[in-house]
């Protein structure tokens, strides 16, 4: 059983890659939508939520937990690894591949305030970005729009333009998506940038890392039935829409509202 959690529905973009790679695995996904967004919450509060959800997933027989949230990874993954025996996979800042591939020497990063303050991002930037210009853009409001299902709305495109136009003007040829909600906005980003910027989504690499850790730890998959359960602490309608855009065959009974 693979447990996954995020501050809301954004981690569905990570489940999509995990499901595509391991369709016969069993998954339990928790969207902490009642407490979303995490981006500007105090670190202690994020750790408390991450701990509660991790305990819940372990009670659901999770053998490995994917923290499908950049902010929660930055704030809580060290704590989780110290306090639980199961392996944890976090969201790695995808700045390194963007820097390696950049021709202009300028890379944009769209993320939450919590991600930019986290040691994972700061260490990666310090280590790899000495000779590259990094344009950091905090995407305030984007998580809330995705949570509301307003992925294709005009107001979402206007807000994206506000954040992305300075990145383009600075000469960036790569844009790193530093929040798992943002991959649902890729089509809008492509439209705004006229496909002239390479978008880096870390979710495929996280899925591969999860599969690698499953193999390293000899986590048995022999009894898996390919079950997918989606739980939200808040509204579940956007989650249903996003999941069914990936797999229309997920049944109504697989979506649950539950306090955690």
List, as one string, the DSSP characters of 135-198: EEEE-TTHHHHHHTT-SS-HHHHHHHHHHHHHHHHTT-SEEEEESTTGGGGHHHHHHHHTT-SE
Q: What confidence tens digit (pLDDT) does each residue in 64-113 have? A: 999 999 999 999 999 999 999 999 999 987 898 999 899 999 999 999 88
Q: For domain 2-91+204-257, is the CATH number 3.40.50.1860?
A: yes
The yes-or-no verdict on residue 143 having pLDDT over 70 is yes
Catalytic residue positions, numbered: 69, 179
Q: Look at residue 123 in the predicted model and tell me its pLDDT.
A: 87
Q: Look at residue 156 in the predicted model and tell me its pLDDT.
A: 96
Q: Look at residue 222 in the predicted model and tell me its pLDDT.
A: 62
Q: How far is CA 70 from CA 82, 178, 219, in A?
A: 19, 7, 25
Which residues, 6+ apart, have CB-to-CB distance to 176 below 8 Å?
93, 94, 95, 98, 107, 108, 109, 110, 111, 200, 202
Instruction: Outline which parts of the chain fall under CATH 3.40.50.1860.
Output: 2-91+204-257, 95-201
Q: What confidence tens digit (pLDDT) does each residue in 29-59 have? A: 999 999 999 988 999 999 999 999 999 999 9
Query: Could you tell me what percent of the chain has a pLDDT over 90?
Result: 84
CATH of the domain spanning 95-201: 3.40.50.1860
Residue 63 is given by DSSP the state: S
The whole model's pTM is what? 0.93
């Amino acid at each position: 059983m693979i447990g996954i959690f995020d501050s809301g529905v954004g981690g569905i973009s990570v489940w999509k890659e995990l499901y595509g790679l391991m369709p016969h695995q069993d998954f339990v996904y928790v969207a902490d939508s009642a407490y979303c967004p995490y981006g500007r919450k105090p670190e202690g509060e994020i750790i408390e939520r991450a701990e509660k959800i991790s305990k819940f997933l372990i009670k659901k027989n999770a053998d490995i937990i994917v923290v499908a949230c950049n902010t929660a990874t930055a704030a809580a993954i060290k704590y989780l690894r110290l306090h639980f025996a199961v392996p944890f996979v976090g969201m790695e800042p995808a700045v390194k591949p963007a820097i390696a591939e950049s021709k202009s020497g300028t890379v944009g990063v769209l993320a939450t305030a919590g991600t930019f303050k986290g040691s994972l991002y700061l260490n990666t930037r310090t280590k790899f970005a000495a000779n590259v210009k990094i344009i950091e853009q905090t995407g305030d409001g984007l998580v809330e729009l995705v949570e509301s299902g307003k992925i294709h709305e005009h107001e979402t495109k206007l807000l994206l333009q506000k954040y992305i136009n300075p990145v383009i003007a600075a000469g960036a040829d790569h844009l790193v998506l530093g929040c798992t909600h943002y991959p649902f906005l890729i089509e809008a980003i492509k439209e705004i940038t006229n496909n002239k910027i390479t978008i880096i989504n870390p979710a495929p690499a996280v899925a591969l890392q999860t599969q690698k850790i499953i193999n390293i730890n000899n986590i048995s998959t022999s009894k898996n039935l390919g079950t997918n359960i989606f739980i939200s602490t808040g509204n579940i309608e956007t989650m249903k829409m996003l999941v069914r855009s990936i797999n229309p065959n997920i049944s109504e009974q697989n979506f649950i509202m539950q306090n955690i």
